[in-house]
Amino acid sequence: GNSVTQMEGPVTLSEEAFLTINCTYTATGYPSLFWYVQYPGEGLQLLLKATKADDKGSNKGFEATYRKETTSFHLEKGSVQVSDSAVYFCALNSAGAGSYQLTFGKGTKLSVIP
Amino acid sequence: GAGVSQSPRYKVAKRGQDVALRCDPISGHVSLFWYQQALGQGPEFLTYFQNEAQLDKSGLPSDRFFAERPEGSVSTLKIQRTQQEDSAVYLCASSEDSLRSNQPQHFGDGTRLSIL
C-alpha cells in the first residue's frame, strides 16, 4: 500500500535559517505529491504540489522536487520567517488507487524563533 | 470566503452518545472526503463521495461510523455509541473532481471531538 515517511520533529530554527524537511514515499502507480501546512488553530492548507517526476512545486519561497529515483519530495526554504511556524505534512495520492484519497505523513512541527 | 465549512467546531460528548458532524464543501465540488486526525498524527482517510455516491468507505474504523451526502453537496458523518478512542479531529475536504488525480483537496478547519 501507499505510505509517506517524514523526518520527525519538532524542528527549531532561527529566523533566516535554511530549512529542509525530508519526505520519502512508497506508492503504487504514479502518485501526485503534495505538501500541506497547518497553522495553529487552522485547517490544512495546500502549500505546493508536483504531479510527475522531476516537477518542482513552489510557493511562498518553499520548494520541493519530485524525485522518482529516490522516491523523495523534500521541502526546502532558503530563509525561514517566524510566520512559517506551523506543522508541515507531506502527502500523496495515487492514480491507481481508485478514490484518490490522500495518504499523509505524520507531520513535522517547525518553530522559528526571532 | 467560500471555503469548506465544518460544524460544530468543537463537540464534547459522553461515551455512548451519538454525534453528527457536518461538512459544507466548496460550491460545485464533486468530490468530498472525510479524514480522522489523532493528536500528533497525520490525517487518515475515512470515506469518499463522488456527488451523492459513496465510492469508498474502506477507512471507516467500525460499523458505528456512517457518512452520507444525499444531495451531492452537504455531508454528515455520524458516529453511534461513541467510544473514547473516537476522540480526534475530523477533517472534511473537497475537490473539483478527484477522478483526476492531481486535483488538490481543500480542507475545512475540522471538528474537534472529545469523548468523556
What tens digit of pLDDT does each residue of B7-36 get? Answer: 999 999 999 999 999 999 999 999 999 999
Q: Which residues, in sequence order, are CB contacts of B110 under 8 Å at separation 6+?
A: A43, B6, B9, B37, B89, B90, B91, B92
Q: Chain A residues with CB inside 8 Å of B44's CB? A: 104
Asked if B55's CB is within 8 angstroms of A102's CB, the reply is no
Residue B38 has pLDDT above 60, yes or no: yes
Question: What per-residue confidence (pLDDT) applies to B40?
Answer: 87
The H helix count followed by the E strand count for chain B is 0, 11
E strands along B1-116, which residues? 5-7, 10-13, 19-24, 31-37, 44-50, 53-56, 65-68, 75-79, 88-95, 106-107, 111-115
Q: Chain B residues with CB inside 8 Å of A98's CB? A: 55-56
Cis peptide before A114 (omega within 30 of 0): no
Per-residue pLDDT of B40-65, as tens digits, reads 899 999 999 999 999 889 999 999 99
**Confidence class of residue B101 from pLDDT cuts 50, 70 and 90?**
low
Give mean pLDDT, residues B56-80.
Answer: 95
Spans of chain A, pLDDT less than 50: none
Question: What per-residue confidence (pLDDT) applies to B6?
Answer: 97
How far is the alpha carbon of B100 from chain A, nearest alpha carbon, in Å?
8
Asked if B42's CB is within 8 angstroms of A105's CB, the reply is yes
Question: What per-residue confidence (pLDDT) applies to A97?
Answer: 53
